[in-house]
Amino acid sequence: MILEHIVFDWRDALDITLVGVLLYQVIQLLRGTRALAVLSGLGVLTALYFMSRSMGLYTLSWLLQHIFGSLFILIVVIFQNDIRQALGEVGSRHFFRKKRVQAGLVDEVVSACVEMARLRVGALIVFERSMQLGDMVKRESVTVDARLSRQLLMNIFYPKAPLHDGAVVVSRGRILAAACILPLAEARGQSFGTRHRAALGATAESDAVVVVVSEERGEISVAIKGELIRNLDAARLKQVLHDVL
């Protein structure tokens, strides 16, 4: 019998394990992103293509066949931001292990943000995760390298302080730099200010998490993967930061 000639050795086990790990990481990268919705749409088109071929719908199958012929270019164009972010995570040293932030430091951030929102003091706090943010730190920023605390955050963002403009970058419980310039996202029909656009831009290009305190509205928001969670109170902000950090 044919089955008697099938040999399963350690190479096959390694092969299956590596493919499984790769697929798992791809799914983790796509969870909660617009890329997952686009991939679902491509899946529908694929099913429609095979259905049209089986039913003899030649015009529709011809059209879909030509679309799939340019599929690689379409994927690069549609997923350019997601591909850049995914490759950045693959190249980072912490692809399989996220950097964790201590619970006490989250409390410090929440306390500072709530107080700054009450006082209508604008703030932009970037949390580094798997992808290193050295390029953002180098953009006309000021090196701080100090332990994160409520008092330090409020001193940095005090309106008359020399470092209040721009963002602070936090890594491993320390504020690496202040007055950092972040890439701005395009405002597509939204009345976002500069801080919110900067938060969306930074999270679209990396896996960072950005907390925004609005000076005009006294509102706290969190940007993740190019999306904004708005109007957070202390309890909700704490829960979101614990979940993502």
pLDDT in tens, 73-101: 766 666 665 566 556 555 554 444 444 55
pLDDT tens digit string along 143-152? 899 999 999 9
- Up-side HSE of residue 245: CA atoms within 13 Å toward CB? 28
Looking at the structure of the chain, the number of domains it has is: 2
Which residue range forms the structural domain that includes residue 121?
Answer: 103-244
Q: Are residues 223 and 155 in the same domain?
A: yes
Amino acid at 39: L
Give yes or no for residue 71 having a pLDDT over 70.
Answer: no
Exposure string for 130-151, b = 16+ CB within 10 A, e = fewer: bbbbeebbeeebeebeeebbbe
Q: Are residues 72 and 118 in the same domain?
A: no
pLDDT tens digit string along 155-213? 999 998 888 888 999 988 899 999 998 888 876 656 678 899 999 988 988 889 999 99
* 45, 78, 111 - which closes a domain: 78
Characterize the bridge pairing of strands 209-213 and 227-229: unpaired
Q: Are residues 223 and 120 in the same domain?
A: yes
Q: Which position has the token pair 């940007």?
A: 223
Alpha helices in the chain (DSSP H): 10-30, 34-54, 58-69, 71-78, 80-91, 103-118, 134-137, 150-157, 194-205, 234-244
Dihedral sign of CA atoms 163, 221, 198, 200 in order: positive
Amino acid at 8: F
Examine residue 232 and state whether it is found in any structural domain, yes or no: yes
Residue 35: other Cβ atoms inside 10 A: 21
Q: Are residues 118 and 231 in the same domain?
A: yes
Q: Are residues 23 and 141 in the same domain?
A: no
